Amino acid sequence: MKELLNIEGMTCNHCVEKIKKFVGECEGVQNININLENKTLEVEFIEPTTIENIILAIEDSGFEVKS
């Protein structure tokens, strides 16, 4: 499954790396692509991970997902 999320609060590459670290720890995440300029995260994942798990990981890293 592939999802595109808008992330609020990213300002630098340190932010990008922090989000990648937290999301990458979700079992089943296969690919993470973050665009700092557009403040988006594109993630590919399989079970057992869900989009809810990924959003929680982003929030745990200190950032917010915009709808």
The predicted-structure confidence for 24-48, as pLDDT tens digits, reads as follows: 999 999 999 999 999 999 999 999 9
Confidence check: pLDDT of 55 > 90: yes
Q: Where are the domains of the chain?
A: 2-66
The pTM for the full model equals 0.93
Checking DSSP bridges between strand 40-45 and strand 64-66, what pairing results, if any? unpaired
Partnered with residue 64 across adjacent β-strands are 8
Q: Across the chain, what does the average pLDDT equal?
A: 97
Looking at the structure, give the CATH architecture of the domain made up of residues 2-66. Answer: 2-Layer Sandwich (3.30)
